[in-house]
Each structure stands twice: as C-alpha cells, then as structure tokens.
Structure 1
Amino acid sequence: MTSQTTIKEASSGGDAGPAPATGLRGHPWLTLFAVAIGVMMVALDSTIVAIANPAIQKDLGASLADVQWITNGYLLALAVALITAGKLGDRFGHRQTFLIGVTGFAAASAIIGFSGSISLVVTFRVLQGLFGALLMPAALGLLRATFPAERLNMAIGIWGMVIGASTAGGPILGGVLVEHASWQSVFFINVPVGAIALVFGLLILLDHRAANAPRSFDFPGIALLSTAMAALVWGIIKAGDSWGFDSVSTWAFIGGALVLFALFAFWETRAREPLIPLGMFRSVPLSAGTVLMVLMAFAFMGGLFFVTFYLQGVRGLSPVDSGLHLLPLTGMMIVSSPLAGFLITKVGPRVPLVGGMVCTATAMFGLLGLTENTSTLAMSLWFALLGFGLAPVMVGATEVIVGNAPLELSGVAGGLQQAAMQVGGALGTAVLGAVMSAKVQSEFAGNWKAAGIPVPPDPRLEQAAEFGTVPEELAKAPGMTPELTAVIGRVIHDTFMSGLVVVFAVAGGVAVVAALVALLTKRGVNAEAGAGVGHI
C-alpha cells in the first residue's frame, strides 16, 4: 500500500483531523456517498428477506425454525463478527475491509439465489452476514476519520438515515421482486448494487487507520462470545420449535450461554488486547445507546417477522400488496429520518430517542387490535406511528455510541453499534418465534375441538398455524369439502391471531423498557482519552 492511500491518525489517540483529499479520492461527501451504497445493501437485506420468507417457506418446504434461521443465521453472523471486523479495519485499514466486505456480500447473495435447499440458503446467509460485518463498521470508521469534527454528527446522521430508509424500503422492494420475479431475486439484486459500491469504493475511498490500533486479536474472546450468542439463540428457537420451555435441553443451552457470557466478560478484563474493551462501558451514554439498539431491534425486527405472515397468510395478500400495506411504516421512516437527524443535531439525542420509543411502544400496543378484517386505514395509522417512532432511534443511537467512543476505537464502536442491532433482531425473532410457537401449541388442539371438526388434527396443520397460512393442498385432501376447509382455515387463522396478540404485547413491553433506557443517553463527547479503556 502506498503512502498516498494510507493516512494514520495521531498515535496519541487524539484526532489528527480529516485527511487531505486529492481529487475524488478522500473527498468527505463523496466518501459518504460511496460507503452509503454498501451500507444500503446490508441494511436492505435485514428486511427485504422478511417479505420473501413466506415464498421461501412454501417453495423449500421449511419449518418455522428453518425460516427463523434464514433471518437469525444472517443476524447472528453479523452480530458475532461485527466487533472483530471493526478491529480488522482499525488494524489493516477501513478501506480494505470495506471493499472485501462489499465483494463477498454480493458473491454470497448470488450463491443464495442459486441454492435449492433450505440448508444451503441458511449456510450462505451466514456467510453473507460475515461479509456484511466487514463493511458496516468500516463505513463508520471511514466517516469518523474523513469528516471534520464540526460536520461529523451531520455525516453520521445521514449515514443513519440511509440505514433507516434502506431498512424501511426492504418490504416494498421485496414484494415487487417476489411477486414479479421470484424469491431468489431479492438476493440477486445485491449483485449489481455490490458492483456499483465496489467501483465507487475503489475510485473514492482513502484508507484510514489509527497508529495505536490493536496489533493482535482476541481469539479466545471471539470464541467465547460467538459460542455464547449461538447457544442462546439456538436454545430459544428450539424451545419454540420442539423442546418447549420446560425442557432440560432448553435451559441447558440458555444456562450454558449465560455462563459463557460471564466467562467472556472475565476474560476481557485479562486479555492484552480484548475484543471489547470493557472500559468503553464506563460511559453511561454509550452503554445506554448499546442497550437501546438491542431493545429497539428486538421489538421492530421480531414484530416485522410476523407482520409479513399476517398480511400474506391471514389477509391473503400478494407479496406486492403486503409491501404496499407496509408503505405507511416504511414511508414514515424515510420521511422522518432527516427530520430526526435535524432535531437530534439541534437538541441532542435524548428527547427524540425517548419520544421515538414511546411512539414505537404505542404502535405495538395498538397492533394488538389487529383482526382478519381490520381496515387498511386503521392498520396504516399504527404502521405509520411505528415508522415515526423508529426513525429517531435508527439515526440517534449511532451518534450516541460512536460519538462517545475514543477515536482509536472507532471501528470497535461502529461494530458494537451494529452488533447490538443484529443481536436484538436475532433475539427478537427467536424469542417472539418461541412465544408464537408456545401459544399455538397451547391453543390449537382446543380450537380444533371447539370447531367440532370430526377428524383428529394433522400435526402439519398445527405447524401451518404458526405461519397463519392455510396449505393449498388442504382442499385436495380425501374427504375434504369446501365447508370443512373453511372451518379448518378459521382454526388456523384464529390460533395464529392469538399468538400474534402475545407477540405484539411482548414487543410493546420491550419498547417501553427501551424508552426508559433512552433517558440515559446524551450527545457524543468524542472522548479521546485512552486511559482505562483496555481493562477494568
């Protein structure tokens, strides 16, 4: 690497200021544009696949747990690798890790599109998440080092808006692609986007790294954290899928995960260069911002997972119509993100974050009233309020976490911010999926009996109730009449709706807790002191 493409920060840990731009390369606003394309691709994938899940489930004959792992495999890989990826960027340069991440993400997406089994889809979703982890913190590291201090908050705000808008636009784009092409197309779309991001990255990005960045990697910490998160999510998913929450196996995995988290925390206080310098969490705003991201993503992504099944299964909407019904949510996020960025710049993040989570909680509780016949207007009002509430959190929590971290840990802070979001999304999907499964298992047999159906329930119909979808082959079964098909469909829908009520109640409760946590946030101080960061 030549000296023209590598700029090092001051070894003291202070901010050396933005690197001088030469032509296109290193220009702050062009840098923001270049990294936004790659970030958009990863953020879009966190929700675009949600609208395709019903089609994937039907085409590949997947169970609820299989479909959850399409989402959770991606989110978990992101969560596990993001902080390590941030350290890679701090050590070897954010430009390199960004470009590798973009290339790998697009390639993994293409392979998923050609996959013909659920196991291959999940496997390459994990690989997709690992490459996504490389580019997300690298993007923040590039912005942190490129922009002058007085414009950094604005740049991070726009970066957060891109994430919010991309996350919001996923269901609509996904609906169009699934209905008019195939579910595979939601992955193929990443190939041209990745190619554009790669070209702009090669032309524009100027490498940055801290001179006192970590020189070694905390492999025991990586192993402990990865295993702990995988064990936790696996235990929760299996509890809802087959084990149950009263199973010894369930609590063995959950208990084992908690022990591993404790061992990870202990090890981090002893490691020479820890994966997560626990001293960062002495900053109350940074800690609160991290917890807030986990809780927000838990409520949003976990709830959105089942909203798509409600729209396509219970309401019988096409993928495009499902995306259009989510337009108030996505549109409000897109519209209110720049407003949230402006407000946060003017008054700081605390008030917008608290207000945003209060709106989110109110919307979740409002969705408790959904029925098979809820009017589009009533549904749209709650979706719009949900989008209005989520936007400030998407924008503001990034500034809180990254802005309160030392400069030499900007890659780690960027990884932590995104890891918190992905952990929250994975846990939300897993926990709420387990809640749905438990509710269906407790009610399906009773609802079947109450309907007076003269034949015993087929286990496959109970599984269908977890999706709210009446199998197409039901009407062709021997001895099945249109009247009996309608009665069984009613049982499936009613059972699913009972579970959906509990799902939204839990998501709303989590949003209330997030609003309380948001009270502890404040504007980033960009503290550069490295003392005490490595160890507690």
Structure 2
Amino acid sequence: MSCTTLSAPAAAAPQAPPAQRSHPWLTLAAVALGVSMIGLDSSVVSLANPAIGRDLHASTAGLQWVTNAYLLALAATLILGGKLGDRFGRRTVYLVGVVGFTLASLAIGLSGGIEGVVAFRAAQGAFGALMLPNTLGILRAAFPPGKFTMAVGIWAMVSSASTALGPIVGGLLVEHVDWESVFYLNAPLGLITLVFGLLVLPQSRSAARGQKFDIPGVLLLALGQILLVFGIVKGESWGWTSAATLTGLGTGIAVLLLFGWYETRTPHPLLPMRLFRNRTLTIGASITALNFLVLLGSMFFVMLYLQNVQAMSPVEAGVRTLPLSLGTLAAAPVGAALTERLGARLTMPAGLLLLALASFGMLTWDTGTSYALLWPPLVALGVGSGMVMAATSEAVLAGAPVEDAGVAGGIQSTAIQIGGALGTSVLVSLIGSRVAATLTAELAGAGVPAALAGKLSAAKDAVAMGGAPPAGHLPARMQAAVAEGSSQAFMNGLHTAALAAGLLCVAGAVLATVGVRRNPR
C-alpha cells in the first residue's frame, strides 16, 4: 500500500520520495521512538510526584493536577490531532508534536513552581495528541496489508513496554538525580526522534484536503471529552454519586451526544460517524479502553502494594515489575502474528482471558506474599495486555478506510486515555470504598482497642494508598497492630479491585467473541 495512493491528485503538495517508502521498518523505528517518549512519560511522573510536592511545596490538589492537566489536554485533542494529520500531512503534524512535547518537557523542569509544572504538563498533553494518532496513521500508509498487523504489534509492544518501564526509570532518576531529570530525559529522546523522523518518515495525508475544517465539531468534542474525563478523574475524591461528579459526567455525555448529532449533519465532519457502523472497529475501541483500564489501574495499585505494604523502594518495586514489561515485550509481536493468521476474534478474547487470570491471581496475595507468587500474575498481565493491544489496534485501524487512518488512530488513542483514567480512578475508588468499610474491624482484629480503632479509621484515605494512620505516639506493640490492621484493610481493597477487573475482562472476552468479525477488512 504505497503512500502515493493516499495523496491528492496532481494539484496536491508533493509527497515523499519513493525511496523513503522502501524502508517501512525505518518508519516503524521512527514512530516507535515517539511512542516510547509518551509511554515513559505517562508512568514515570507518578514516581516523581512526591519529590515535586516536597520541592515546590505543592498541595495534594496541586499534585493531582500534574497528572490531570496532562490527561485532560491529551484526551480532548487526540481526534483533532489525527484529523490534522489526515489533512496537513501525518509526518508534519507528528514531528511538530515531537518538537512541542520536547520543549514542554524542558519547560516543566525549568518552571520552578507548581503552577508552571501544571501549565506545561497541559502543553505536553496537547502536543502528545499530535503525535499518538499520527503514529498509527503513518504505519497504515507505510505498510502493505500483509505486514501491517505485525507493525501494529511492535507499536503496541513499544507503547506497553515503555509504560511498564517508566517506574524503573523514574525510580532511578528520582533517587539518584532529581525530579527535574524525569522531564529532561525527553530532550535527547526528542532530538533523536526529530532528526531520525526527518530523515526516514514518508509523508501521507487524506486525499480530501480541500474540505472545510469542522470548527464547531472541534469545540464540541473537546468540551465533551474534558467534562467527561474530568468527571472520571475527580469521581474518586468527590464520590461517584455526588452532585458534582454526576453533573460533570452527565454534561460531558450530553455534549458528546450533541457532537455526534452534529457530525451526522455537517458535510465535512471532524469524526465521520459512519466509522462506527463497523462493529469490529467499535468493539475494538471499547476493548482498548478496557485493556488500559485493567493495565494502568493494576499497575497503580500494584506499585502501592509493593512500596507501601511490602516496604520496597521505588527502584526495587520497578525491578519487581519487570516480568510485566517482559511479558508485554514478548506478547505484542506474537499477538500480532496470531491476529494476522487467526483474526482478532480469537486473539482479543484470548488476551482478555489472560488479563482475567492475572486479576484473579492477585486475589491470592496477602501482606506477606513471597515474590515467587507475585510474578506469575504480572507475567499474565503483561502478556494479556500485549495480545489485546495488538488485536485491538488491528481491529480499529483495519476497520477504517485509509483516508481516515489518522482519525482512526485518534479513536484508538482516545480509548487508551479514557481507559487509563477509568483504571486509576474507578479501581482506586473501589479500594477506598472497601478500606472504609473494613478498616475499623481489621484494626480491632489486629489488637487495637475498639474506641481507638474507630478514631484511627478517619485516616482511611492514607490506608487506601497502602499507608497507615499516624501512630507514633502509641507504644511499639500498638504501632505494629495499627500497621497490621491497616495493611490488611488495604489488601481487602486490592482484592475487590482485582475481582472487578477480572470480571470486566471476562465480560469483554464474551463481547469480543460474539461481536468481532474474523476479518475486519
């Protein structure tokens, strides 16, 4: 599938020389560098947050916005980024994103205040939205159908593995350098990505370049996604049934429904709603969100468990999660090959069932579980996620026409971000609810007097993060009892979240088996 088949007629701007199209694997390497930047950044920052808070004297709310500002900006502009690539050239928009992401990363390290960190994290998210969907669009144009699935599998491997490696890299940098180095790391990566991309990436774009740009669609989609994602990320702290959460979620859904109605009536839509007539594409996007809900949500509470319950350092915890990274590394290309041979209808449910087994395996963990029992679920989590990512990427990208490759990439990337937001908010909310329900009883069961246990239960938020209520004024024996009861309450919450994740994966496997066609093309 050559890039010239995607270009406009003779009046269009010149396309990349044919020689560039003879090196699709160099194209894959160039986009993989950008994907690794975003993947590392999405998970490495969580380990830097405590150091950022201490150094910049930031409140808990301020630290939450370090993550939320990036997430909101990214989620709100992903489909726009794909549309810009389809219209103005995917190579051009991707490389603009690389430059902007790199400069925003440097600005974060130099900002000197929490307000600057939050503002430039939002800029990072917006430039990341120019990169992510266009990586998939570039691959769709560069690879023939017979090799496209394998290319997407490697793309998924790089994305998942870099996300999983983030805690190790972040732990090393925060412990041995400083928190700013977490962001400065993007400078050499960005420079290499830019130079390599200029040398090897082919240009591709949609043939329909003269169409009017859908400004109302851009505004409606951005507003709807911001409101929806904001409601998701704040639901855990506000309460899922609170008026503020329900208002945010309800308003976001209403605006997105208005966006969908408008897109069916404008002649040049930002997001062609006809794409969702393809059942395989729609299910593939939904399973993508589920995959990252389980992956990122599980990574979040596993890190809390390893560091706060099993008392590992950030580096030790990162190293202990290597089986997850290695499992993803091995599974993504294998999953792509199996998807090409057998179809997403088989590989997508298989990966989801592995994710379910990983989640159910975590139900056997307790406060003192040995590492010999910890790593098998982590391997299953990595392998399952890699397989699902390869299968869903194939389903979404192959389910869309080539001229809409950037938009399809935006749909895929948006599903990833919404799934990740749900994972780190909904699953953490389940942990918090279970902790609140069992903390007093667990403290009492560990030997804390009932009256004291009732008072200490007010610190349920700290326990939901794997910590314990302040007990330094108590005798050593009582401090040990408080720590024991708190850890057990956290494990109750972890088991609830793992059970919910496993059941969701089983439901997703059934949906994929019933709904996905063998050949999405």
- TM-score (norm: length of structure 2): 0.89
**Is 1:252 the equivalent of 2:247?**
yes
Q: Which residue of 2 is the match for residue 81 of structure 1?
A: 77
Q: Which residue of 2 is the match for residue 533 of structure 1?
A: none
**Which shifted more, 243-252 or 407-416?**
243-252
1:284-327 per-position Cα deviation (integer Å, ceiling 9, x unaligned)? 11111111101111111122111111111111101111011111
Query: Separation in 1 of the partners of 2:176 and 2:95?
Result: 31
Query: Separation in 2 of the partners of 1:214 and 1:306?
Result: 48
Match of 1:334 among 318, 323, 329: 329
- Residues 44-83 of structure 1 correspond to what in structure 2 (within 5 A)? 44-53=40-49, 55-56=51-52, 69-83=65-79
Contact 1:337 1:391 in 2 (8 A): yes
**Is 1:403 the equivalent of 2:398?**
yes
Query: Separation in 1 of the partners of 2:218 and 2:444?
Result: 50
**Is 1:229 the equivalent of 2:225?**
yes
Residues 279 and 78 of structure 1: is their aligned pair in 2 closer, same or farther, counting only changes over 3 Å? same
Q: Which residue of 1 is the match for residue 131 of structure 2?
A: 135
State the Cα distance separating 1:522 from its structure 2 match: 4.1
Residues 465 and 60 of structure 1: is their aligned pair in 2 closer, same or farther, counting only changes over 3 Å? farther
State the Cα distance separating 1:210 from its structure 2 match: 2.0
Letter in 2 for 1:511: C
Letter in 1 for 2:502: G
Residues 484 and 122 of structure 1: is their aligned pair in 2 closer, same or farther, counting only changes over 3 Å? farther
- Residues 471-490 of structure 1 correspond to what in structure 2 (within 5 A)? 474=470, 479-490=473-484
Letter in 1 for 2:248: F
Residues 213 and 350 of structure 1: is their aligned pair in 2 closer, same or farther, counting only changes over 3 Å? farther
Q: Which residue of 2 is the match for residue 180 of structure 1?
A: 176
Match of 1:209, SS? coil
State the Cα distance separating 1:421 from its structure 2 match: 0.9
Cα RMSD (Å): 2.8
Q: Which residue of 2 is the match for residue 171 of structure 1?
A: 167
**Is 1:452 the equivalent of 2:449?**
yes
Match of 2:336, SS? helix
State the Cα distance separating 1:218 from its structure 2 match: 2.6
State the Cα distance separating 1:389 from its structure 2 match: 0.9
State the Cα distance separating 1:60 from its structure 2 match: 6.0
Match of 2:461 among 451, 457, 463: 463
**Is 1:518 the equivalent of 2:515?**
no
1:32-85 per-position Cα deviation (integer Å, ceiling 9, x unaligned)? 221211122112222333444555566667677665544443333222211100
- Residues 12-51 of structure 1 correspond to what in structure 2 (within 5 A)? 20-22=17-19, 27-51=23-47
**Is 1:435 the equivalent of 2:445?**
no
**Is 1:504 the equivalent of 2:502?**
no
Match of 2:205, SS? strand
Residues 182 and 521 of structure 1: is their aligned pair in 2 closer, same or farther, counting only changes over 3 Å? farther
**Is 1:367 the equivalent of 2:362?**
yes
1:506-527 per-position Cα deviation (integer Å, ceiling 9, x unaligned)? 221221222123223346655x
Query: Separation in 1 of the partners of 2:57 and 2:377?
Result: 32
Question: How many residues are matched?
Answer: 510
Residues 431 and 401 of structure 1: is their aligned pair in 2 closer, same or farther, counting only changes over 3 Å? same
**Is 1:124 the equivalent of 2:98?**
no
Query: Separation in 2 of the partners of 1:399 and 1:213?
Result: 26
Query: Separation in 2 of the partners of 1:461 and 1:118?
Result: 26
Letter in 2 for 1:113: G
**Is 1:100 the equivalent of 2:96?**
yes
Contact 2:21 2:142 in 1 (8 A): no
Query: Separation in 1 of the partners of 2:438 and 2:227?
Result: 28
Query: Separation in 1 of the partners of 2:114 and 2:484?
Result: 29
Residues 301 and 216 of structure 1: is their aligned pair in 2 closer, same or farther, counting only changes over 3 Å? farther
**Is 1:300 the equivalent of 2:295?**
yes
Query: Separation in 1 of the partners of 2:254 and 2:128?
Result: 28
Residues 209 and 236 of structure 1: is their aligned pair in 2 closer, same or farther, counting only changes over 3 Å? closer
Residues 162 and 50 of structure 1: is their aligned pair in 2 closer, same or farther, counting only changes over 3 Å? same
1:185-243 per-position Cα deviation (integer Å, ceiling 9, x unaligned)? 322211111110011112222322122146333333333333333323333444421x3
Query: Separation in 1 of the partners of 2:172 and 2:396?
Result: 35
Contact 1:337 1:392 in 2 (8 A): yes
State the Cα distance separating 1:460 from its structure 2 match: 8.0
Match of 2:282 among 280, 287, 296: 287
Residues 68 and 262 of structure 1: is their aligned pair in 2 closer, same or farther, counting only changes over 3 Å? same
**Which shifted more, 156-165 or 298-307?**
156-165
Q: Which residue of 2 is the match for residue 417 of structure 1?
A: 412
Query: Separation in 2 of the partners of 1:397 and 1:297?
Result: 12
Match of 1:158, SS? helix
State the Cα distance separating 1:501 from its structure 2 match: 1.8
Match of 1:379, SS? helix
Match of 1:221, SS? helix
Contact 2:44 2:169 in 1 (8 A): yes
Query: Separation in 2 of the partners of 1:352 and 1:58?
Result: 45
Q: Which residue of 1 is the match for residue 154 of structure 2?
A: 158
Identical positions, percent: 42
Q: Which residue of 2 is the match for residue 200 of structure 1?
A: 196
Query: Separation in 2 of the partners of 1:25 and 1:104?
Result: 26
Contact 1:164 1:333 in 2 (8 A): yes
Contact 2:132 2:410 in 1 (8 A): yes
State the Cα distance separating 1:345 from its structure 2 match: 2.2
Query: Separation in 1 of the partners of 2:176 and 2:458?
Result: 29
State the Cα distance separating 1:380 from its structure 2 match: 0.5
Letter in 1 for 2:183: F
Query: Separation in 2 of the partners of 1:279 and 1:121?
Result: 40
User: Where is the helix percentage greater, Structure 1 or Structure 2?
Assistant: 2
Residues 194 and 369 of structure 1: is their aligned pair in 2 closer, same or farther, counting only changes over 3 Å? same
Consecutive unaligned residues in structure 1, runs of 5 or more: 1-5, 13-17, 527-536
Contact 2:47 2:167 in 1 (8 A): yes
**Is 1:310 the equivalent of 2:305?**
yes
Residues 229 and 209 of structure 1: is their aligned pair in 2 closer, same or farther, counting only changes over 3 Å? closer
1:485-507 per-position Cα deviation (integer Å, ceiling 9, x unaligned)? 33333343233222222221222
Match of 1:372, SS? coil
Match of 2:351 among 352, 356, 359: 356
Contact 1:400 1:523 in 2 (8 A): no
